[in-house]
Every structure is written in structure tokens, then in C-alpha cells.
Amino acid sequence: MGRRYEPSEFEPRWQRVWADERIDEASEDPADERPRFYALDMFPYPSGDLHMGHAEAFSGGDVVARSAKMRGHNVLHPIGWDAFGLPAENAAIKRGVAPAPWTYANIDQQERSFRRMGMSFDWTRRLATCDPEYYRWTQWLFLRFFEKGLAYRKAAPVNWCPNDQTVLANEQVIQGACERCGAVVERRNLTQWFFKITDYAQRLLDDEDQLIQWPERVLTMQRNWIGRSEGARVTFSIEETGEEIEVFTTRPDTLWGVTFFVFSVDHPAVERLAQLGGTWGEVEPMIQRARAAAMASREEADTKEGAFLGVHAVNPVNGEKVPVFAAPYVLMEYGTGAIMAVPAHDERDFAFARQHDLPVRVVIQPEGSEPIDPDSMTAAMPHDGVMVNSGPFDGEPSPASIAKVAAWLQREGRGEATVNFRLRDWLLSRQRYWGAPIPIVHCPSCGEVAVPDDHLPVRLPDDADFSLGDRESPLARHPTWKHVDCPACGGEATRDTDTMDTFVDSSWYLFRYCSPGYEDGPFRREDVDRWMPVGQYTGGVEHAILHLLYTRFFTKVLYDLGMVGFTEPFPRLMNQGQVIYDGASMSKSKGNIVEPMPLVERWGADSMRLMMLFAGPFEDDIDWKLIAGEDPDRRPGVHSWLGRVFAAAGAAAERGASAPEPSSLVRLTHKTIKGVTDDLDRFRFNTAISKLQVLTNEIRATLDAGGGAIDAARALVQMLAPFAPFAAEELWRVDLGEPASVHRSSWPAYDPALVLDEAVTMVFQVDGKLRDKAEVSADIDEAGALELARASPKVLAAVDGREIVQEIVRIPKLVNIVTKR
RNA sequence: GCGAGAGUGGCGGAAUCGGCAGACGCGCCGGGUUUAGGACCCGGUGCCCGCAAGGGCGUGGGAGUUCGAGUCUCCCCUCUCGCACCA
């Protein structure tokens, strides 16, 4: 019956037809009244052909886009490439191919693969961030940030690989070593460009309530990354110099317990103060040692190393002079790079005090307890209880007194309540070739001058020497590129020779999709406001912090600039799991890489997509070894299923309406429509597919029994369309004889009355244990149910003459008879 | 250490509201078809006892709430992920 499933025969054919019919293009027709839906996938990095992670993510994203369209939406489902970045330069260095042709060749390859996989992208909006027409607007946006004071230059310590002669992003430093060559990374002070994301820290937290469907763990990661702490800034002074030094503390109520003071080893005041204190000779080797240890391994930095600077700090609350140290356990990046140390109530300070024989003074203790002898302490005390040894605050409850202490500090001019964030400004400059040049000119007389908008883009030279091994970056060492006239005064000046972090490029691509080819700005506000915010964003959890946080920041800046009418770009986010092999990530060195395109060639695009989607919940990892086995020639179960769908739908079409469709099949069809629709709403593609398999089995059984199944088959084919677009189209247009694409058809509707079962299985329990079942009508009443239960011989046997104390009846599902035991 | 999530057959997983645990699929077993292999079709398949009828056990472990717990509460164990001297 039916017909054979030969995907290689029709998949390429429908791919061509869909391109000709332009079925995947979003409609910009003003008369089109369908609600708009923006289905966005995180755009890929073109470092070769598509891998399994892409196959998984985009298969899910395509189900979202295709099902939204069938359910009546005007869908925007664009694609592009995050095309700047280090891998292109690595390839250039390794293979001697320039970054641009290498990148574009990979883009073309990935586009072919996407088309072959049946991804429903609107190709008219394709973009690549390395296109000059794109990065022109990246530069334009940078200049708007610059004008607003949100892009600025300052000297900062950065990661520098002495072997590769380049700065590295934090992500490229693995346990203190260069990701590429393994050399120990150095810290260097370089003048770098930053975006002032810290200005938006509070808003990034506050707007979380707009992120209505984000995975909880991503929200948590962002919250932790932003790291908001309430506390106080307190001004200490150095006795020997009189200079004021601020510290941040979350516990100003412990100020009376300060017994020493610690600077980060990277604090700029350390060398000067140690020279003054006459201890630089001992301090400097400690700092060198500490830096080396911190770089080599984070674990080694656990020791409470440190050195006395020979100077003293004055505690503003009681005038006490305490010794000042430099120690690696104080981070330069957090707070002010200096701390007041309260060893009685802080584990780290306590460990340091014990190591260096420093006094410990308890200032908070449990209410009513005897004074605590610091010498008997083996660990820091919990800091809740009653304040003691704290001058005017003795007897105050803590931590409830924090606000009171902070207010007192402010009145006394010794500090103030404040909020501190862990988030730091975004270092965006890179000394690399393959990125968008920073559109700034450095003029000896005018300073930092913006390149005028009408001179954009500042193009990359295509004759740069992008090899490594020199001290200067490729743009800096180019013989002519950087030499320009100052746009302000016309005098001799030089271009900024840094390029932008690729995360800048990817922070606004989603806006550009709305206005493809627009030449008067990065996008048209009306286009963006029409399509955005994004209806559903799909991509990897590896971007949980950087990309997602940066794009949220960009959106808020664009809002403040009046360029868009919303403050959150993607209220709904879905993360696919990883595709791993035998419990480990796939990698070349392990030789366990499975690629999607060979699967597509062997079994067809539909089977590849279904393997991904049926393997388990979308957000869970897929262990390929477990779902596919080790034999690549073994037919995937989903492929066999498609074979049965073809046989069944084909046979149902041949039989048509000549035989009646049994009501049980009709009911199952409606139930399946409801179930699959609900599953799509919660991204449970695996259970949606299993429901389609159940329907398939029932259609087959109906046909075997001589019944008709044409309506069921039609619904099945339509519901199959988002998951297996080629097979569905073949059956729809060829076997079912429909003239137009299944992907333009309307999602089947269900009759709520037919979703409810006519007959259900009622279970009879005795003392909560299943003893018997009966098929009953769905509208059975309680008395009838009880009567049935009491009449059951199995129930009677189980009751065994004991006294019945309670009868629980839940029509139409269950009766539970409780006996006295 | 802190934070988040998870633990169900041989395997991937299902159970959406506290009500038949194991849907669907893979694998395996038996049968059919086939020159053979593959493919396909039919049946079986949580574990234990039993020829069977039937019975017992069963969702990481332990307690609790409930007529009833994979699901809710508490404690413990294990695993995964993220952060990790954040003052």
C-alpha cells in the first residue's frame, strides 16, 4: 500500500520550487493584516561548514518559524553571518588565504547547507557583519555612542600573549594561558576603548521583568554577572601622607572591627606607599610572585599571601591607626581595589590575620552571650547579632543597623550608602585586522576626532599584512592606511588602528534584518518598530551573558537615542542543548565529530531534522552516540517512520473518501491537533513528534481494517510540515493533490467536543492500590462509578471483608476504596 | 564554597492539575517475507516469583503530608552547568 519514501528524489526538487515561489519571504505589503512574528536564530560564525550544534538550533528555530506561519502569522525569519573575528585571521595565518575570501567561501558553503536542510529563511535579508555596507553602520553606531560619552578611551590592564603578540579577550584566556599557543598571558596596561555599560547596570536588572520567557538559569547568570551589592563607601586616610582612600563594604556596621587595611597588588598607590614606608624591597618580589601564581592557576592564588607596606590607615569612625598591606586576595577590578579588613567577621580577612599575626576584634556577637575571646576563634564569626565594641552603636541589632550606620557615616562626612556592581565597562577595542575599524582619528592638536558620517565606512585595507610576530597590529603597521588629514583641522593625523570586538557587530544585527539594504541609517525606525521586539529568539546558552547582555544594553541605548520604541530586544528566549558524543563535547582531537551534512546526504534533510528534534527536550543535551548508535549506516528510527507516513498517507489518499473514517480516528485526529499545538507552544518538539507517530499508527490500523483515513492523513501531513518540510510538501502536493504549498496552508483546527474521550478507562483502587479497571462512558455519575467498583470481584477480593472507612470517587477516572487496617 | 538544574526500563525519553508509571522511539527476543544480507510486516519486551491464572516489587536514598506521591514538604547522596577570594 501507499508508496516508497525516497527523499533524494524530491528534496532538491522542492528546494528549487520554494525558491522560485519565494514562500519564505516576509511580507511587507501594508494590506497584509496577519499579525507579525519575528522568529530569530542566533546567527552563525562562518568557520567552516555547519556543525551539529547549528543543525540542532536551526531545526528548532525553523519549527518555530514554520508553525507560526501556518498558524496565521506574517513571519520574518532572517539569516546572516557573524563574520568578523579571530578564526578568519587564524586561517589566514595558517593557510595563507586572506580573511575575506576565506570567510565568504564559508558563508556560501553554509548557505548551501542551510538551503539543503530546508531552513525557511528569507534570503532577501541575508547579511554578513564583514560587509562594508554592514560595518559602515556598526561604525556609525559607535560614533553615536561616542557623542553620548558612552564610548571612551582609557588605560587599562589587558591580557597580552607574548608569543602571539596580541591582546586576548577574557574568553580566550584559559586558566591564565593563551587559548591558541598555551603561553602564559601577561597583564599589560594599554589604552583601550570601552563602552559604558556600567551606566546601564541598574536598568539591565530592572527590565528583567520584561523578559517574560527566559530560562531561569540565564537570568541568574546575568544577575550574577551584573553583581549588584548594597553597602557603603567609607573614606579612610593614610596617616603618613594624609591622602584619602575609599573602600567599599557591604557591612559598614563592622567598621569598629577593622584591624588592618589591604590594597590589591595592582593598586596604583602600592608602589608609592611602599617606597615611602621603606618596604618596597620586600613588597615588589611578593607582587611579582603573586601575579605569576594568579596567572598560572587560579587555585594557587588561594594562599593568603601579602606584605606590609610600612604605612598606616586611619579608621574614620574611631581614629585608630591600622597597618596597611598589599595582597593578591584583594581584587583591583571589584569595588575600589582596597578594603578595610574585619577579620572577626570575614573568612578571608580572618585567614589573612592568622597568617600574619594580626589582631582580631569581635564587634557583633549573639545577643546575651559572654564576650568572645578572639584567640579562641578558629573561623570568622557570623555577622548577625548585637553590635559591641562599636562606640555609639553598642547594643544595636545587626545587620538591621546597616542603614543607620550608613546614615551616620554620611552625616559625619566619612562615607555614604552606595550600590556597587561587579559589572565592568565593555572593553571593545582589539589589535586585530579582521574587525570593523574604530572610526576615530587621533589629531595632535584636536585629540580624538570622529570620522564624519559621510566618510563611513572606514574600510579595511585589503593589502594588510595580517601575520603575527610583529609588535604592532596589522592596521598600525600598514604603510599608508592610518595616515589621514584631521577631519576637524585638516592637519596631519592618524587613524585609530584598533578594530571592534565582534560582539559589537552582533549587538545590532537583529535590527538590520528589519531594513535590509537601507542606506540612510542602520535601520528605519518604522521597520524595527513594526517587527520588533523579537517574537522568539533561539540559540546557544554559551551566549547567556556576553551577547545577550550586550544586545540588551545596545537596545537601551538605541531607545535613549530615540531610534527604537522598546527597551528589551527579545522577551522570549530558548536555548538548545549541546550535541555531544559519548558524554564529551565533539572535537577534532578526540576524533568524535559527527557532521550534519553527511547525514542529510545519506538519509535526507527531514530525517536529520527529526533526529535532532525527536531526541529529547529541545533544551537538553543530545548524546549522539546514544540516540544514533555507532553505525552510521543504521537506518534512523525517524526515517523508518517517514516511510510509514508515506505508505499510510499515500494509501489514505488513494482510498480517498470512498470508505468512512471511523469516529475513533476522527477523535484521535482532533486530539492530536490539540496536543501537537500545545506542544509547539512549549517547545516540546519530541512529544509533538511522538503524537504524530501515534496518529500514523492509527491511520495504518484503520486502513488495514478497511476504513478511510483521508482527513486524518491531511491533518497529519500538515502537522508534519514544520518538522519535515520536504516530506510534507511531497505528500501534500503530489499525493493529496493540493495545488499550493503545505507551508502556505492553515494549521488544522480541532473541535473541542471531539477532543474529549467518549469512553475512558476508570481505575478501581483498594487502599490506593490498583485492583481493577473498567471501560466507562465519560459522563458516568458518582453513584454509577461506585456501583461498578463495588461489583468488581477483584475489588471485593482485595477488600477481603474488612470494614470500608472511606470511598473516594473521582469521575470518570478513579474510585478508591479505603478499608480499616 | 555559592547559585541553578537534574536523577524514571538495556538506551533516548513520556506522564501538562497529586489519580492506570514507562507514551513514542531505539535496542533486544520470537515469527513472517526474502536466494542471502538489508529493508519491510506481525507479536512480545520494567524487575522478581509462577506452566498459567495471579501475586509481589518498582521513578537516587530516607522521612513526612495525603484516601492516593515520579509529581508537594524536609533531610541526605550523586551528577551536570554556571560563578568562584565579589569585601
Interface predicted TM-score (ipTM)? 0.95
Considering only CA atoms, name the residue closest to the C1' of nucleotide B13: A616
In the 198-217 segment of chain A, residues within 7 Å (Cβ) of strand B are: 216-217
Three-point CA angle A306, A236, A326, nearest 5° = 10
Rg of chain A (C-alpha set):
34
Please answer whether residues A681 and A536 qualify as being in contact, where contact means their C-beta atoms are separated by less than 8 angstroms.
Answer: no
Q: What is the mean pLDDT of residues A410-414?
A: 92
pLDDT of residue A804: 87
Measured CA A775 to C1' B28 distance, in angstroms: 33
- Checking if the pLDDT of A734 tops 90, the result is yes
Least confident of A171-175, A343-347, A533-537, A597-601: A171-175
Measured CA A171 to C1' B80 distance, in angstroms: 21
Give the C-alpha separation, A8 to A577, whole Å.
29
Least confident of A203-207, A299-303, A479-483, A772-776: A299-303
Q: What is the average pLDDT value for chain A, to the nearest integer?
A: 91
pLDDT of residue A821: 67
In the 232-291 segment of chain A, residues within 7 Å (Cβ) of strand B are: 248-251, 264
Q: What is the mean pLDDT of residues A180-201?
A: 83
The DSSP 8-state label assigned to residue A392 in this structure reads: G
Q: Is the CB of A420 under 7 A from strand B?
A: yes
Measured CA A540 to C1' B79 distance, in angstroms: 22
Q: Give residue-wise pLDDT tens across range A805-815.
A: 888 888 888 88
Q: Give residue-wise pLDDT tens across range A465-512.
A: 877 665 678 899 899 999 999 999 999 999 999 999 999 999 999 999
pLDDT of residue A1: 47
The C-alpha cell that represents A682 in the structure block = 512549549
Measured CA A718 to C1' B4 distance, in angstroms: 38
Cβ contacts of A482 within 8 Å, gap of 6 or more: A475, A476, A494, A495, A497
Q: Give residue-wise pLDDT tens across range A752-774.
A: 999 887 778 888 888 888 888 88
Please answer whether residues A55 and A44 qualify as being in contact, where contact means their C-beta atoms are separated by less than 8 angstroms.
Answer: no
Q: What is the mean pLDDT of residues A362-382?
A: 85
- Checking if the pLDDT of A367 tops 90, the result is no
Q: Is the CB of A329 under 7 A from strand B?
A: yes
Q: What is the mean pLDDT of residues A61-86?
A: 96
Centre a 10 Å sphere on the Cβ of residue A164 and count the other Cβ atoms it contains. Answer: 19
Chain B: positions less than 7 Å from a protein CB are 3-5, 11-16, 19-21, 23-27, 38-42, 55-56, 67-69, 81-87
Q: What is the mean pLDDT of residues A263-273?
A: 93
Name the percent of chain A lying above pLDDT 90: 67
Per-position DSSP letters for A246-288, written without gaps between them: EEEES-GGGGGG--EEEEETT-THHHHHHHHHT-HHHHHHHHH
In the 23-82 segment of chain A, residues within 7 Å (Cβ) of strand B are: none
Region of A717 on the Ramachandran plot (φ > 0 left; ψ -120 to 50 alpha; else beta):
alpha
Give the C-alpha separation, A5 to A365, whole Å.
77
Q: Which nucleotide is nearest to A339 (CA to C1')?
A: B87
Stronger pLDDT, A756 or A601, i.e. the higher one: A601
Residue in the structure block whose three cell numbers are 506561519:
A69
pLDDT of residue A471: 67
The DSSP 8-state label assigned to residue A436 in this structure reads: P
Q: Is the CB of A808 under 7 A from strand B?
A: yes
The C-alpha cell that represents A764 in the structure block = 478501581
Measured CA A348 to C1' B85 distance, in angstroms: 7
- Checking if the pLDDT of A519 tops 90, the result is yes
- Checking if the pLDDT of A176 tops 70, the result is no
- Checking if the pLDDT of A296 tops 60, the result is no
Q: In a 10 Å sphere around its CB, with 0-12 CB exposed, 13-18 middle and 19+ buried, how is residue A192 labelled?
A: buried
pLDDT of residue A172: 63
Q: Is the CB of A399 under 7 A from strand B?
A: no
- Checking if the pLDDT of A295 tops 70, the result is no
pLDDT of residue A299: 46
- Checking if the pLDDT of A300 tops 50, the result is no
Q: Which nucleotide is nearest to A675 (CA to C1')?
A: B16
Q: What is the pTM assigned to this prediction?
A: 0.93
Q: What is the mean pLDDT of residues A412-419?
A: 92
- Checking if the pLDDT of A285 tops 50, the result is yes
Q: Which nucleotide is nearest to A810 (CA to C1')?
A: B19
Measured CA A263 to C1' B85 distance, in angstroms: 13
Cβ contacts of A133 within 8 Å, gap of 6 or more: A457, A517
Q: Give residue-wise pLDDT tens across range A612-654.
A: 999 999 999 999 988 887 778 889 999 999 999 999 999 999 9
pLDDT of residue A727: 97
Q: Is the CB of A607 under 7 A from strand B?
A: no
In the 718-777 segment of chain A, residues within 7 Å (Cβ) of strand B are: 760-761, 763, 765, 767-771, 773
Stronger pLDDT, A71 or A212, i.e. the higher one: A71
Q: Is the CB of A175 under 7 A from strand B?
A: no
Peptide bond into A99 cis (omega under 30): no
Give the C-alpha separation, A43 to A65, whole Å.
15
For residue A298, what pLDDT band results from cuts at 50, 70 and 90? very low
Give bridge partners of residue A442 from the DSSP assignment. Answer: A448, A494
pLDDT of residue A768: 85
